[in-house]
Amino acid sequence: MVARLKGLPWGLLGMSLLFILLLASLLVMGDAAQHQARFERLFIWLLVFHAVVLIVLAGLIIYQVVRMFWQYRQGVPGSRLTLRLVSGFMLVAVLPVSVVYYFSYEFLSEGVDSWFDVRVDSALEDALELSRSSLDLRVRQLAEETQEIMENLEGVSEGLMGLTLNDYRRDLGAQELTLVGANNRIIASSTDSPIRQLPSPPSSDILMRVRPGQPYSRLEPEPDDQLVIRVVATTASRRPGTDNRILQAVYPVDPRMSALSLRVQDAFADYREFAYLRGPITQGFIFTMSLALAISLMAALWAGLVVARRLVQPVSDLVQGTRLVAAGDYGTRLQVRRADELGFLVQSFNAMTRTLNEARNEAERNRRLLDAERAYLESVLKHLRSGVLALDGSLRLRTANDAAGQILECDLQGARTRDISEVGRECPLVHQFFEAIRDPLAGHEAEWSRQVVVFTRSGRKVLMTRAVWLPTPGSGRGLHAIVFDDMTEFLKAQRDAAWGEVARRLAHEIKNPLTPIQLSAERLSRRLGRVLEGADREVLERASGTIIQQVEAMKTLVNAFRDYAQAPKLELGRTDVNQLVRDVSELYLGADGSSRVRLDLGEGLPAIRADAGRLRQLLHNLIRNAMEAAEEQERGDELRVDVATAFVESSSGSWIELRVRDNGPGIRPDLLERIFEPYTTDKPRGTGLGLAVAQKIVEEHGGIIECHNDDSGAGGAVFVIRIPVDEGSPSGAPAAEEEQPR
């Protein structure tokens, strides 16, 4: 109930009531203006009522106008339209009202004046003058007669005065004759009516105007709307010191004459009063009309404000709602205030926002689903050891996982949306990779695979690549999904296993007959040497020596194979790498005591758990390999091997790094990728097993080894070994792809 009451447009109802009252008051005022008495009785109330209405309206309008301009300055939606509508309403209201006001003003100003005719004025003046003349004549006549009586009373004794006055009164038709003596003493009096009150002596102002022989007379009104003529006379022979008597006579005016004269006087007085008041009356009418005009204009302005506000409200709501929707608030719902076209527009807006909201929610759900799928896919891609790339039809990079960047040695995450050729200018492996697969990509082959070989500074990489073309239906565009694996280590491990097996069999098959061959050759030499002489003996000794020497060489070779193929059996212990390096380097002192191995040992290196013997063998192999490489270049005196140690910390752990550098010719590029494979050597006297064994020892300690040529200008090869400091996992070296020393 309260809500229903609150929902009523109280302002509009109040103003409608006020307007009705205003109209009623104007009607009453118009009616009252036709009747003087009613006009006087009601006018003040109407005036007060209009003043109150005016004040109320003015207050409401000032509030509304101030609010409208404030909203206009604040840029409130709809305020400009409201201002225009109100201005239009005002223009529509002011123009006709002003015209009506102008003509009404003219009519009142001229119309009221036209009520007063000069001839009427003149006629009334003449009538009054006629009455006045007629009465004056009578007054003068009676004054003369009264003066004669006064003269005649000179000799009459006071005892006969009453009878004498009575006779005169009857003769002249007077109402009253009174003779007054000194000190206003009434000497005698005669009246025409026994019920008439006692005669009163003349008033002092009359007595002041009486002169001897010149009676004072005047017309006087009586309370019963009758006129009387009062004459006061004294004798012409009045002398000082005598008893100055005064006669006062009151004569009735003929009733008809009296009534006519009073009527003329009343008409004249009313007309004069009316004529005198025409200015105020006109001003009063104009004031009333101006009041009505002001109230009408204010009511029109207020109505214009209200109507404009009600008209503009849905538009303001729509503007506000549109702003909210533009800001992303699709939950905006507008109140439907009207049942017309604007209401329909609001309903349509609500339907639109509802649809948008549902679509946004659906899109949001899909986006979340898509994000989840993408996150899942990225997680899968991130943990894949295979490289995954996605290129669009114009070969722009869309997606790349971490493994792809690691394999291709390039920051592909930062290269998204860039052309892959452009990326290739910064990353050589990417360039090589996509040069190798450009043809199937350009041809949009549906599905293909191939093995791609790329070359890095540390060797070559074999990438097994598979790709599919995923066309977007109906668009003519699509996506290349490329998956590739770095098969280098796998192939290398396969080769290593094969070589290990070969070495193990060779060692087993060859070493067994070597000892009998050597013993047989020594026996032949010992027995036949005693029999043969001369040249035969010399041939025998040389041949048996050759056999024994070659057998020893073969034993050495077989031992090397054994070492390579032998399953690791490490004797781990705390090992000081720097001390180990110093011990080994002393073995390479020259005849003059100088060492050709220069040391650059890092300070404060932690001890590691390692097999010192195997590490010593590793160092021997590397230093010997370096010296042999330098000797191959015939740089005898300039031969130099640098051995450096350092403690390295990286995201994959802590390492002891051992770096062996020579100043030889370096490793041929075609051998660089296979340098750690058995029988890979470019030295005529090498077995080709030294570096293979070195790599094996490093891997037994969970470390990594790599080789590259020094490109700083000094030449030579550089071998970098990293052994983990972590005591607990000598075989738990981090994956090579996580930390690749260069």
Partner 1 sequence: MRRMAWLLALWLVPGVAPALEIRDAGHLWMDDTTLLARLDLDMALPEVLVDALENGVTLGFRLEAQAEPDRWLPGRPLARAEQRVQLSYFPLNRHYLVTSRDGERRELRPTLGDALEQSARRLGRVHLEGLPEELREAPEGFRLNARLSLDYTALPLPLQLDAGLRGELTARQEWYGWSLD
As given in the structure block, the two tokens for residue 369 are: 């689903």
Which DSSP helix (H) or strand (E) runs through 479?
A: strand 478-486
Asked if 126 touches partner 1 (CB under 8 A), the answer is no
Binding residue (CB under 8 A) for partner 1 from 275, 436, 570, 644: 275
**Shorter beta-carbon distance to partner 1: residue 8 or 44:** 44
Asked if 283 touches partner 1 (CB under 8 A), the answer is yes
* CA pair distance 304, 297, nearest whole angstrom: 10
- In this structure, are residues 307 and 92 in contact, taking their beta carbons and an 8 Å threshold? no
State the minimum distance, in angstroms, from the CB of residue 49 to partner 1: 11
State the minimum distance, in angstroms, from the CB of residue 284 to partner 1: 5
Which of the stretches 18-26, 165-173, 274-282, 548-556 binds partner 1 when contact is defined by CB under 8 A?
274-282
3 state SS for 238-258:
CCCCCCCCEEEEEEECCHHHH
State the minimum distance, in angstroms, from the CB of residue 290 to partner 1: 12
Site string for partner 1, 45-84 (x = CB under 8 A): x-xx------------------------------------
Which of the stretches 37-45, 308-316, 344-352, 644-652 binds partner 1 when contact is defined by CB under 8 A?
37-45
Binding residue (CB under 8 A) for partner 1 from 8, 44, 118, 195: 44
- In this structure, are residues 453 and 431 in contact, taking their beta carbons and an 8 Å threshold? no
Q: Are strands 246-252 and 176-180 parallel, antiparallel or unpaired?
A: antiparallel
- In this structure, are residues 408 and 427 in contact, taking their beta carbons and an 8 Å threshold? yes
State the minimum distance, in angstroms, from the CB of residue 239 to partner 1: 28
State the minimum distance, in angstroms, from the CB of residue 196 to partner 1: 14
What are the two backbone dihedrals, phi and then psi, of residue 711, each rounded to the nearest 5 degrees? -100, 20
Asked if 511 touches partner 1 (CB under 8 A), the answer is no
Which of the stretches 263-271, 614-622, 642-650, 724-732 binds partner 1 when contact is defined by CB under 8 A?
263-271
For residue 170, which of 186, 152, 193 has the smallest C-alpha distance? 193
- In this structure, are residues 688 and 671 in contact, taking their beta carbons and an 8 Å threshold? no
State the minimum distance, in angstroms, from the CB of residue 36 to partner 1: 8
Asked if 41 touches partner 1 (CB under 8 A), the answer is yes
Which of the stretches 167-175, 176-184, 261-269, 435-443 binds partner 1 when contact is defined by CB under 8 A?
261-269
* CA pair distance 602, 645, nearest whole angstrom: 5
> What angle do the packed helices 158-172 and 118-152 form, to 10 degrees?
150
105-117: string of b/e by CB count within 10 Å (b at 16+)? Answer: beebeeebeeeee
Asked if 548 touches partner 1 (CB under 8 A), the answer is no
Asked if 220 touches partner 1 (CB under 8 A), the answer is yes
* CA pair distance 74, 87, nearest whole angstrom: 19
As given in the structure block, the two tokens for residue 344 are: 């329909």
Write the DSSP string, 87-100: HHHHHHHHHHHHHH
Site string for partner 1, 468-507 (x = CB under 8 A): ----------------------------------------
As given in the structure block, the two tokens for residue 653 are: 């752990």
Asked if 284 touches partner 1 (CB under 8 A), the answer is yes
CA end-to-end distance (rounded Å), the chain: 87
The number of helices, as runs of H, and strands, as runs of E, in the chain is 18, 17
Which of the stretches 220-228, 242-250, 325-333, 704-712 binds partner 1 when contact is defined by CB under 8 A?
220-228
State the minimum distance, in angstroms, from the CB of residue 22 to partner 1: 19
As given in the structure block, the two tokens for residue 306 are: 């209200």
Asked if 280 touches partner 1 (CB under 8 A), the answer is yes
Asked if 371 touches partner 1 (CB under 8 A), the answer is no
Give how many residues touch partner 1 by CB under 8 A. Answer: 39
Asked if 131 touches partner 1 (CB under 8 A), the answer is yes
Asked if 269 touches partner 1 (CB under 8 A), the answer is yes
Binding residue (CB under 8 A) for partner 1 from 101, 251, 268, 433: 268
Nearby residues of 86 by Cβ (< 8 Å), 6 or more positions away: 68, 301, 304, 305, 308
Asked if 644 touches partner 1 (CB under 8 A), the answer is no
Q: Are strands 186-191 and 597-600 parallel, antiparallel or unpaired?
A: unpaired
Secondary structure of residue 453 in the 3-state scheme:
strand
Asked if 221 touches partner 1 (CB under 8 A), the answer is yes
Give the neighbor-by-neighbor strand order of the sheet with 397-400. 397-400, 387-392, 478-486, 459-471, 447-456
State the minimum distance, in angstroms, from the CB of residue 268 to partner 1: 6
* CA pair distance 647, 609, nearest whole angstrom: 15
Secondary structure of residue 595 in the 3-state scheme:
strand
- In this structure, are residues 381 and 390 in contact, taking their beta carbons and an 8 Å threshold? no
**Shorter beta-carbon distance to partner 1: residue 202 or 321:** 202
Binding residue (CB under 8 A) for partner 1 from 277, 306, 356, 479: 277
Asked if 223 touches partner 1 (CB under 8 A), the answer is yes
For residue 679, which of 666, 692, 668 has the smallest C-alpha distance? 692
Asked if 261 touches partner 1 (CB under 8 A), the answer is yes
Q: What is the sign of the dihedral through the CA atoms of 709, 711, 712 and 713?
A: positive
Tokens 């032949």 belong to residue: 524
Binding residue (CB under 8 A) for partner 1 from 272, 495, 504, 537: 272
State the minimum distance, in angstroms, from the CB of residue 266 to partner 1: 9
Binding residue (CB under 8 A) for partner 1 from 63, 70, 107, 287: 287
CA angle centred on 462, ends 458 and 468, rounded to 5°: 140
Which of the stretches 101-109, 115-123, 258-266, 642-650 binds partner 1 when contact is defined by CB under 8 A?
258-266
> Within 190-219, which residues bind partner 1 (CB under 8 A)?
203, 205, 218-219
Binding residue (CB under 8 A) for partner 1 from 43, 455, 588, 647: 43
Asked if 222 touches partner 1 (CB under 8 A), the answer is yes
What are the two backbone dihedrals, phi and then psi, of residue 56, each rounded to the nearest 5 degrees? -60, -50
Q: Which residues are near partner 1 by CB under 8 A?
A: 39-41, 43-45, 47-48, 128, 131-132, 135, 203, 205, 218-223, 227, 261-262, 265, 268-273, 275-277, 279-281, 283-284, 287
